[in-house]
Structure 1
Amino acid sequence: MKTMGLMLVFVAATACSTPAGDKNLNNTNDMMTNKGKEVSGDYSLATFGGGCFWCIEAIFTRLNGVYSATSGYAGGHVSNPSYEQVITGATGHAEVVQVKYDPAVVSYLSLLEIFFRVHDPTTLNRQGADVGTQYRSAIFYHDEQQKEVAQMVKERLGSENIWDSPIVTEITPLDVFYRAEDYHQNYFEKNPNQAYCQMVIMPKVQKFKSMFEDMLRQD
């Protein structure tokens, strides 16, 4: 029990953070302005904030019909922010994941259902030990149709009293999506034995697999 307690303290202290030695690796962002009108062809885009982006990315990459899940920043007032800036909470940005998906295989409605179930949408500016506005629950819609569907799902789930507290997820238009530094991309896949990955991300991934088994990628 003492060992587990120490591990929990360590995870809380290092929540969704990268070792200092890694912070200078590829520490550049590529700005991507992904609004609804730019979604075309055989794919669509969806952008979600649900706490540490490592967690949400690890889940959506396992979903059938998803081409990619990219960790990044959105919703703030600072252009081309760095991770070090975002984690201070002073930029207004949230850690988000932008999902590129095939709407013929998986619908935006399904993405929303998964999003709400794999994080706690009732805790304001917090997911577990990750605390701050950068970890807020948020849906950044790309067009009016996404906005309407998001509002509908939020209202429906709220009325079902699934959680003890009301949903606080914000629904706001996406202005600019900034891709996070390279070392954040596919973090769970690259660092499966890291403490945060084992104790925080892995349980979320297992929960997702259990709840949405029929929607998992087969490759």
Structure 2
Amino acid sequence: MSTQFRFLILPFLVLFNVACSQAASDNKQAAGEGQTTKKQEAPLDTTGLEKATFAGGCFWCTEGYFERLKGIKQVVSGYAGGKKPHPTYEEVSSGTTGYAEAVQIYFDPKVTSYQDLLKAFFISHDPTTLNRQGPDEGTQYRSVVFYHTPEQKKEAEQYITQLQLKGTYPNKIVTTVEPFTTFWEAEDYHQDFYERNPDNPYIQQVAKPKMKKFEKAFHDKLKDTTTNE
């Protein structure tokens, strides 16, 4: 592994001091009041788009990263990997439902490839900590690639193998590759949380420092913030 790539990867392995679940509890009532949510927006035209689903810790952070990439038309925070219909955040946070905090991504494969998304996913979280991301601990914070097609499954498995062979991480990757079954959209106050709550303590202390490193790593693949394209 090159020195430059190691410099970009290792900052994402640092532990932080504020947990997502605690921050959500503190900000549930105030988050995004009076703002339009994804559920209230016009339905997304998915013609020509593909879906990708990842779980990599608190979805506030994960959603914010992917929303910055070119070719991404929508990112929705929610729950994947469990069986109970209509799970709530409180239920998922208990760690007993089998669900993981996840994001569902609608992307234009002509602009951004699934390989690009895999790279973004693995560089933006620590795939070597079992059922944990920093202070966020529990099966709901596990690292998972939920594949929608056999091609996505193959690409994900090959990418993980490549990372292991290159020694990209000092510890073994524990990310699982699982078939996508269902996705339940999270409550309104979780959607676009990074953008809508810039002063939230979790965003300030955890997400923003990581976002700066993410933007540095993907500087040539970021949307123009003036046009969102």
Give the TM-score taking structure 1 as reference length.
0.86
Q: 1:107 to 1:145 in 2, by over 3 A?
A: same
Counterpart residue number, 2:48: 42
**Matched residue, 1:35:** none
Q: Which amino acid aligns with 2:125?
A: H
Write out per-residue CA displacement over residues 122-145 of structure 1, whole angstroms, 9 at most, x where no aligned residue.
Answer: 000000000000000000000111
CA pair 12-143 structure 1, distance change in 2 beyond 3 A: closer
Q: CA deviation at 1:22?
A: 1.9
- In the alignment, structure 1 segments of 5+ residues that lack a partner are 1-7, 31-39
Q: Does 1:19 align with 2:65?
A: no
Aligned to 1:5: none
State how many pairs are aligned: 201
**Match runs of 1:1-219 below 5 Å:** 11-12=18-19, 15=22, 17-19=24-26, 22=29, 41-218=47-224, 219=227
Structure 1 letter corresponding to 2:171 = S
**Distance across 2 between alignment mates of 1:12 and 1:41:** 37
Q: d(CA) in 2 for partners of 1:124 and 1:21?
A: 27
Shift in CA distance, 21/202, structure 1 to aligned 2, threshold 3 Å: closer
Q: Secondary structure of the equivalent of 1:188? A: helix
Distance 1:88 1:14, change over 3 A: closer
Question: What are the superposed Cα offsets for residues 166-186 of structure 1, whole Å, 9 maximum, x if unpaired?
Answer: 000010001001000110000
Q: Which amino acid aligns with 2:170?
A: D
Whole-angstrom CA distance in 1 between matches of 2:190 and 2:53: 16
Q: Using structure 2 for the length normalisation, give the TM-score.
A: 0.82
Residues 20 and 202, structure 2, Cα contact 8 Å, conserved in 1 = no
Mapped to 2, the partners of 1:96 and 1:14 lie a distance apart of 14
Q: Percent identity?
A: 45
Where structure 2 has 5 or more consecutive residues not aligned to the other structure, the ranges are 1-15, 34-38, 40-45
CA RMSD of superposed structures (Å): 2.3
CA contact (8 A) 1:16 1:54 kept: no
